[in-house]
A and B are shown apart, each in its own frame.
Chain A
């Protein structure tokens, strides 16, 4: 469904991603793992074309999206949930969801605000509140809900568990499993295995912008030395 082939991305002169190549198949949850600064966010942004790769190709559902405008990428059904909870703090919860709203595509889920409030009950009580009044966990839920309003068939989740209370992390894991059962494909990034273990089928590990491991979670579990070398515990 999503394929990266030999993607190289730069910030100015800094070479951040080095020949990254992996695929995510429909219905999979793939974990993109690596330490702080490994290039996870840049990978996400390079898929979304918020950072345009200098060489290599990103293909989504057969379309070459390299160099497309981010809004066109989103329109194809690729949803992006950024790290650090970039919600619109001056807008209410409902207004945040409205920004994300896109008409459903053929075969995609058709989310409504009420369905999302079922999925994230905390948000339902806060629908009229401004983004800045929400707690960190609520803001994180809102970023996910906002992206789902675009009825994506594929979601990029950048470090969804970072800086969030463990209770909420558990809730988040349940949501991701539920989304997977609904047929959504997910690429999520994490610094460690705790969260990924609960939800992911496959893992890609990067370090310094270079791919170090690609395989199933079982394979990764069989090689604890890889985990120790490239991930924080």
Chain B
């Protein structure tokens, strides 16, 4: 009984930081509709800044003052990010802003590395709260008790701010209909900036508060991000009580999980999330999202058309050039080109889902890594010949996509995105923690292609044929009746239904098909590297693909491919330098601001303006 209580209290104490970070994310999303991927980075900054301040400021006042100041400092940084990075792109297509926040993640990672160095920092103990108290014989750190007391006060203050003050009323009104709030004389720009700064300050506060428990390290941004997304989704987007309850559930569950099911701590969180969403699709306290209710009307879609003769010739020339590569390129160039080709196929499969199907998946790595693991497991445990294992990679990934899609497609919008992310993380944690079968963190090694493909050039041609073939197949499907149905379902679900299209079925097929193609890319990947590690399933891999698709241009067919080639090429050039993340992050932010339609979309607009291409208006 004593142990039980002790664990419950520890769980509740852990919930504090999680709640603060999650409520910040939830607030930001509610008002600005920005899914702030960088939220974990602000949490990390809070920890680092708090650490430094605690070194400088003395005593108990210094300790608590440092926490408060860290929160304020992170709030100010968040304000700068909002004004400099996000404000110029509010009018960009929905969700485009998350690309910019991803750039912020990279920048913050390298800045933290520069300032605080690569070593983990041990958080200082809180003055006067160093020991433990015994509750029913069990030791409980005094600091945990302090957190237990502080968190409800922060929650209450937030609740008061949101429900009782004019600012809170405006925030809630803007969550519902921000255009109308503007038309009533409220300057939305400052409301957005204020909410963003507040959300970031909460994240920073959370980061500084957990210092005595967890310290500060360079991985804490991504480590908390998934947990925060899970909390926000379980609680319901935009709901403070929901975030609090969910943070408590997740934290308590984690503490018990560590004791009783140490092998499944990571999986547990996602299992809970899936269960909650199956019963309550919009979270415990969430409200149904209605598309377009927030007064955002984007530019009308321009229909995509099959490529004209010019483009076909250009593509043929490109493929011919790629085919000739081994004649003059080095071994290294071929390996790099193989990487790029595989990545382009992966990105194109996500683009198919996102651009044509309107389904934003945050967890597309599940099918890429999934396909790779299917092949690797077959080779490792069943001595399957490479050809067969390779063939089963897309099939396995497709099957996973069918199961996951069947559950996720009950939801739409951000909830759909979050649920796909949860499943990807579920798969990742399974692979990571089920060491006996998957090798865990050590991965699976010696997954080599069959002898006839073992040469670099032979495998390059193999990858070239299958990637280009896969991409052309994706394009072909886009222009088939199925592709029309998919686009119809994206643009107007009701009208599509009324014309006899079973939109759910169409989406299911598209989801499975995109998963299969990602699995194909994964199969190509594993045999090109000869090994596979859990990081191919990671959230960062999913984000890479997402960034690439947005950077390339969601509304253009070639967006995924151009973005993929650009991203991989630049990454290869930059990773040779020490602070490549900083450069990459700044580059992403730069591209996002100057090319809000993506690379392809913006190039096309420029070409139209210069008179090189006919305007879409002239053709109608």
Contacts and interface: CB of A to CB of B under 8 A. Distances in A.
B183 interface: yes
A72 B183 CA distance: 9
Interface stretch (B70-78, B114-122, B174-182, B502-510): B174-182
B381 interface: no
A48 B616 CA distance: 29
B173 interface: yes
A74 B620 contact: no
Contacts of A91: 169, 172-173, 176
Contacts of B287: 90
B188 A86 contact: no
B185 A13 contact: no
A39 interface: no
Interface string B158-180: 00000000100110110111011
B169 A75 contact: no
Interface residues of B, number: 25
Q: Considering residues B172, B180, B287, B299, which has the most beta carbons from chain A within 10 angstroms of its beta carbon? A: B180
Interface string A81-121: 01000101111000110111110000000000000000000
A100 B184 CA distance: 5
A95 B617 CA distance: 45
Given A12-B300, A99-B169, A86 B180 contact: yes
A146 interface: yes
B183 A99 contact: no
Interface in B173-211: 173, 175-177, 179-189
A209 interface: no
B169 A98 contact: yes
A161 interface: no
A82 B180 contact: yes
A71 B300 contact: no
Nearest to A98: B169
A139 to B, nearest CB: 13
A48 B182 CA distance: 10
Given A13-B300, A98-B166, A71 B182 contact: yes
Given A71-B187, A99-B184, A150-B185, A90 B172 contact: yes
A164 interface: no
Contacts of A90: 172, 175-176, 287
A70 B169 contact: no
A50 interface: yes
A66 interface: no
Contact of B177 (A12, A13, A75, A86): A86
Contacts of A154: none
Contact of B186 (A13, A71, A80, A82): A71
A69 interface: yes
Nearest to B191: A71
B169 A71 contact: no
A185 interface: no
A142 to B, nearest CB: 12
Contacts of B169: 91, 95, 98-99
Interface residues of A, number: 27
Contact of B183 (A12, A48, A88, A96): A48
Contacts of B170: 99
B185 A102 contact: yes
Contacts of B186: 71, 99
Given A13-B617, A86-B177, A98-B166, A80 B183 contact: yes
A177 B368 CA distance: 67
A147 interface: yes
Nearest to B176: A88
A6 B398 CA distance: 57
Interface in A9-61: 11-13, 48, 50
Counting chain A CB atoms within 10 Å of each CB, the highest count among B181, B182, B189 belongs to B182
A71 B173 CA distance: 15
A99 B180 CA distance: 10
Residue with the greatest number of chain B CB neighbours at <10 A, chosen from A48, A82, A88, A96: A88
A50 B184 contact: no
A12 B299 contact: yes
A71 B179 contact: no
Nearest to A100: B184
A69 B182 contact: yes
Nearest to B238: A90
Interface string A138-180: 0000000011001000000000000000000000000000000
7 contacts: A69-B189, A70-B179, A71-B187, A88-B180, A89-B176, A100-B185, A146-B184
Given A48-B183, A100-B184, A150-B184, 12 more contacts: A69-B182, A70-B182, A80-B184, A82-B180, A88-B173, A88-B176, A90-B172, A91-B172, A99-B169, A99-B170, A101-B166, A150-B185
Interface of B: 166, 169-170, 172-173, 175-177, 179-189, 287, 299-300, 616-617, 620
Interface of A: 11-13, 48, 50, 69-71, 74-75, 80, 82, 86, 88-91, 95-96, 98-102, 146-147, 150
Which 6 pairs show the lowest CB-CB distances between chains A and B? A74-B185, A12-B300, A99-B173, A70-B182, A88-B173, A80-B183
